[in-house]
Structure 1
Amino acid sequence: MTGPTIGYFLSSEEYAPAQLVEQAALAEEAGFDALWISDHFHPWNDEQGQSAFVWSTIGAISQVCKLPVTTAVTCPIMRLSPVITAQAAATSAVLLDGRFRLGVGTGEALNEHVHGHYWPGADVRREMLAESVEVMRRLWSGEVVDHRGEHYTVDNARIYTLPEQPPEVWVSGFGPAATRLAGEIGDGYITTSADTELLGLFRETSGGKPAAAGFKAAFAPTEEEGLDHAHRLWSTSGLPGELAQILPTPRHFEQAAQLVTKEATRSSLVCGPDIDRHIESFGEYVDAGFEEIYVADIGPHYSEMIKRFGAEVLPAVRERAARREEVSAR
């Protein structure tokens, strides 16, 4: 049976490193195909309470799990330079025997302002990302790199620990300009929306390269408990527009998230134990034609969620995708 890759999304902001490693092993055992892992310096709010260094966590995951891993996403333009990001990605790819993919984006002030540098506008950050990807790909050649660019200088840098093949670079995009850039410079596309117009723009710009999307669920014994966890931990996901890119601290996100109602959180994701609803939550991504779909859990019941999804949700989603492909082939 064919169909999309169905992966599990590890939330570095909500879970401690040991829990993320545990989730990775559980996901492999349950039958998930791959892993996403987020990269933050700060959580979105203090209630989430975590934000470990993602590269250390990836190293630990490589020792307990054989699933492919993608950063979703890291920002190689300020907090970490493209030189250091390239080295970290190369080491991760070696530890994972080539099963590592670098997902990148233009980042948020929340994470990238920590050195005290000016936070540039989106157009400048896209320029920085394009130059950063160029630098990283040159470094993965194993050659000595000198670079004098608009935003970065590299002086006699060479990466010695390299995988057999350089990591793919997938680029996130949440608007037309970023999506077009993803199509121009990326090996694939990363988003958290089932927006078919943006997906079509990426397909057109990239010449038909693959795309991945991720979303959240709040599995719990009851819908109300799941909703409580989702609203307490992730109401910040309901902030509109570019707020998520410009607010500088978890405290600011907490203030802004006071405008997000509990009912808005309820309508944005599936909460509780209803397996049929969780199956249906994949539907718009399957129907849009994403090659890869990732789901993250919210709250303390991740072990049961991963096991139940492996036994009941993944087979149903794969069957739906297979039916869609059969219809499309006629």
Structure 2
Amino acid sequence: MEIGFHASHEQFAPSRLLRLARRAEEAGFDAVLSSDHLTPWSERQGEAGYAWAWLGAALATTTLPYGVVTAPGDRYHPAVTAQAIATLLEIAPGRFIPALGSGQALNEHVTGRPWPTKDVRNARLAECADVIRRLLGGETVDHDGLVRLRAARVYTLPTEPPPLFAAALSPETARAVAGWADGLITVNAPLPRLREVIRAFREGAGAAKPVHVQMHLSWARSEEGVRAQALDQWRANALPPVLNEELEVPAQVDAATAHVPAEALEDSIVMSSDLARHAEVLADYAQLGVDRVYLHQVGVEQEEFVDVFGAKVLPQVRAC
């Protein structure tokens, strides 16, 4: 199982994330996952660099493979997404995996269009995935559905089209995307829940297709620090999808989570000052057949996290 580093644009400036990506490579991480946000989750975070520009710089200054979770169909027209994917892969062949998701109003509301229901978003996502795949295959595409294209063509193409992963948080969505996705990316959850999501995808997609997991974690030198930074930076994880995907601005998220206790984050963030606990969770994911885990340290102390996990956690997991 590969272990990667998550570059959280909602929390950190692009220049710092470039330094962290290089540091992660030096520390022994296998890959990097980039978020793709126009808006942070909280006013306390206060960042949201443009992921696609950053990915070009990161690919050019490291040798690691990269991934991104992005939402085509609203803020990004699928032809624009296909062109961005193709350009990155022309620069860095074989080192970039796009994962397509149905999106969140937090990032997509800026277009001013009505925010679709989840079933419509899933249907639109399937259309976008088909269109993007055809464009990356060199086709000229006309399409009139939930998204529209007229004589669309991407001229600069990669040598090999990439796998198109799907992002899914629930078994229902994992089952829905299994028909078109070349792989799945999901987030950490209690093992029975995570096992259910993976099973739902592989029942439809086949056991051979890869699964990646973004693991939200909070590590600090003390348990008090662990919980304090999780609450400060990532309390939005306590929201159910009906709010998480529907709220439009950080102030709304902050208001909705103002009284969230740390205990409400225990199912969605691995919170511990004990490095052995984090290694144990990673070993459990390996047992589930996960191919790659991206570690997202939710706290602001990123450099120490990269160094300590690179020196102590990654070798322990790889020795299992």
TM exceeding 0.5: yes
Are 1:44 and 2:41 an aligned pair?
A: yes
CA distance in 2, matches of 1:106, 1:250: 19
- Please report how far the alpha carbon of residue 27 of structure 1 lies from its aligned counterpart in structure 2 after TM superposition: 1.1
Aligned to 2:243: 243
Aligned to 1:175: 170
Q: Percent identity?
A: 38
Query: Do the aligned partners of residues 176 and 225 (structure 1) sit closer, same or farther apart at CA in structure 2, a change above 3 Å counting?
Result: closer
1:265-284 matched pairs, under 5 angstroms: 265=265, 268-271=268-271, 273-284=273-284
SS in 2 for 1:285: helix
Question: Which residues of structure 2 form unaligned runs of 5+?
Answer: none
Which of 95, 114, 117 aligns to 2:113? It is 117
Which of 8, 25, 41 aligns to 1:28? It is 25
- Please report how far the alpha carbon of residue 110 of structure 1 lies from its aligned counterpart in structure 2 after TM superposition: 0.7
1:89-128 matched pairs, under 5 angstroms: 89-128=85-124
Query: Do the aligned partners of residues 175 and 219 (structure 1) sit closer, same or farther apart at CA in structure 2, a change above 3 Å counting?
Result: closer
1:147-296 matched pairs, under 5 angstroms: 147-194=142-189, 195-208=194-207, 209-265=209-265, 268-271=268-271, 273-296=273-296
Q: Is the 8 A contact 1:75 1:106 kept in 2?
A: yes
CA distance in 1, matches of 2:147, 2:45: 34
1:295-314 matched pairs, under 5 angstroms: 295-314=295-314
SS in 1 for 2:36: coil
Aligned to 2:315: 315
Q: Is the 8 A contact 1:224 1:272 kept in 2?
A: no
- Relative to the length of structure 1, the TM-score reads 0.91
- Please report how far the alpha carbon of residue 298 of structure 1 lies from its aligned counterpart in structure 2 after TM superposition: 2.3
| Amino acid of the structure 2 residue aligned with 1:80 | Y
CA deviations 1:226-248 (Å, max 9, x no partner) are 32221111111111242111111
Are 1:57 and 2:80 an aligned pair?
A: no
CA distance in 2, matches of 1:248, 1:269: 23
Q: Is the 8 A contact 1:7 1:295 kept in 2?
A: yes
SS in 2 for 1:184: coil
Question: Which residues of structure 1 form unaligned runs of 5+?
Answer: 321-330
Aligned to 2:65: 68
Q: Is the 8 A contact 2:172 2:200 kept in 1?
A: no
When the two chains are superposed, the root-mean-square deviation of aligned CA atoms in Å is: 1.6
